[in-house]
């Protein structure tokens, strides 16, 4: 007889702010715990530009929301303490949590830097009841790592994630099938995973205000207003239906690329390099989002009269690093371009393999690894708060011919085909 699935969702409470608090308390035990005062982790503290990346519970009471501009947050709470982000340490905290969680099951999926799914179906008998085990995990993370988490317990990923969003912080919640009518259906429709503000407004106009009302609604009624596929999906979600496995991955694409048609002809290396960097930002982000590596970089140039030339080169080792892809792209460009004016520049990566399938290269340094981890952290911020929430300082010039991430709408998409210092990143 097949066992009923048991899924845990672990979610760090106010992750960046919690981790920043841990860092500061580790440095000075007498430091003020940012979690106890109105505080936030956000952009450029001095200029008050950027957005709120994480906020404390006291800051939340002032109506401060994640993702809102710092200028707006200061208006709501003039005494708000804002501190800059410390991505390197946040990555360390995330990795430490993953190492701890791996002791409970080999079947886990890192959903984001601060969220993880565990499939406990085959291992729960080793630790006790689901609630006891979840409470043990919650307690250990706080005692050993210094920050709090919520744990959602359910028969699938959707319900586990919904459960972890119940009362915070530092709580464990269940959402089993029999609990759906009492715990899930009374919630407002906006609380359902994958329901955005636009869909909420359309459903509200149809008289659907709670998840329960959506669950009892005929999907055929929704299709003209929300589209066929989306209507079926959210109706299933409202009824707690989700069969997606922990650790599911999409098939590996053959290549990831991007190109940009320029507003004017380009005939100098400096400008061309800036365009390449913009393209590599997008391509690198797509590779990391798909958890794949590339082993070949191709640069394409097209003149105003559509004459095309391209060259490619193999990397020393497979990578998903924007910096390494950009460095190789610049090298290729300088080797074959004779500075003939071009109107289109493209970058494509091929020889794609799944992350972890390649061998460790002797050419990879600790600095290379640090850059890749940093880039992943930047991806996480951009995916949550918009591609423009963080950009390189080199793209802030009014004379820049390309934006910092060419094709922003495709920045994290998986369905398309000179080193930079990390300090070049600024919050916009």
Structural domains in the chain, sorted by start: 1-179 (3.30.70.270), 185-238 (1.10.150.20), 256-427 (3.30.1490.100)
Amino acid 396: pLDDT: 47
Q: Is the N-terminal amide bond of 288 cis, ω within 30° of 0?
A: no
Q: What is the pLDDT of residues 13-50, one digit of tens each?
A: 999 999 999 999 999 999 999 999 999 998 665 655 67
115 is catalytic: yes
Amino acid 362: pLDDT: 42
pTM (predicted TM-score): 0.65
Amino acid 163: pLDDT: 98
For 307-357, give the DSSP string. -EEEEEEEEEEEE--HHHHHHHHHHHHHHH-----EEEEEEEEES-EETT-
Count of positions (residues) in the chain: 428
Q: What is the pLDDT of residues 115-125, one digit of tens each?
A: 999 999 999 99
Buried b (16+ CB within 10 A) or exposed e, 362-378: eeeeeebeebbbbbbbb
Catalytic residue among 109, 115, 281, 375: 115
Q: For strand 108-112 and strand 49-55, is the pairing parallel, antiparallel, or unpaired?
A: unpaired
Positions in the chain short of pLDDT 70 = 1-2, 43-49, 248-253, 305-306, 355-370, 372, 382-383, 385-428
Dihedrals φ, ψ of 328, to 5°?
-65, -40
Whether the CB-CB separation of 389 and 382 falls below 8 Å is answered with: yes
Amino acid 415: pLDDT: 40
């Amino acid at each position: 007889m097949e066992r009923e699935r048991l899924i845990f969702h672990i979610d760090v409470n106010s992750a960046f702010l919690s981790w920043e608090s841990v860092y500061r308390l580790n440095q000075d035990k007498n430091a003020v715990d940012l979690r106890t005062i109105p505080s936030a982790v956000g952009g450029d503290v001095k200029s008050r530009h950027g957005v709120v990346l994480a906020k404390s519970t006291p800051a939340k009471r002032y109506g401060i929301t994640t993702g809102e501009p710092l200028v707006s947050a200061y208006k709501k709470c003039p005494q708000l303490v804002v501190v800059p982000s410390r991505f390197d340490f946040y990555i360390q905290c995330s990795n430490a949590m993953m190492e701890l969680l791996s002791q409970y099951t080999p079947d886990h999926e890192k959903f984001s830097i601060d969220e993880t799914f565990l499939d406990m179906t085959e291992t729960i008998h080793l630790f006790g009841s689901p609630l006891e085990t979840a409470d043990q995990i919650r307690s250990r993370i706080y005692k050993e790592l210094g920050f709090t988490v919520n744990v959602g317990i359910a028969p699938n990923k959707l319900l586990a994630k919904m459960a972890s969003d119940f009362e915070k912080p530092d709580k464990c919640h269940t959402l089993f099938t029999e609990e759906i009518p009492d715990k899930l259906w009374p919630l407002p429709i906006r609380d359902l995973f994958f329901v955005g503000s636009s869909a909420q407004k359309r459903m509200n106009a149809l008289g659907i205000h709670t998840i329960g009302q959506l669950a009892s609604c005929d999907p055929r009624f929704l299709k003209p207003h929300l589209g066929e596929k989306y209507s079926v999906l959210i109706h299933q979600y409202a009824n707690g239906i989700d069969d997606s496995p922990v650790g599911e991955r999409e098939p590996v694409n053959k290549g990831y690329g991007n190109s940009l048609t320029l507003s004017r002809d380009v005939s100098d290396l400096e400008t061309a390099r800036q365009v390449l960097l913009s393209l590599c930002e997008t391509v690198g982000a797509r590779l990391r989002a798909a958890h794949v590596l590339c082993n070949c970089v191709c640069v394409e140039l097209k003149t105003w009269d559509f004459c095309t030339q391209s060259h490619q080169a193999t990397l020393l080792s497979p990578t998903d690093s924007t910096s390494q892809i950009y460095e190789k792209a610049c090298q290729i460009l300088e080797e074959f371009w004779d500075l003939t004016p071009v109107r289109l520049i493209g970058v494509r990566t091929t020889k794609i393999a799944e992350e972890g399938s390649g061998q460790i290269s002797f050419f990879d340094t600790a600095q290379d690894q640090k850059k890749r981890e940093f880039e992943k952290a930047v991806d996480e911020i951009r995916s949550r708060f918009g591609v423009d929430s963080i950009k390189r300082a080199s793209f802030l010039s009014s004379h820049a011919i390309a934006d910092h991430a060419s094709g922003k709408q495709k920045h994290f998409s998986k369905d398309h085909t000179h080193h930079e210092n990390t300090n070049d990143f600024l919050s916009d």
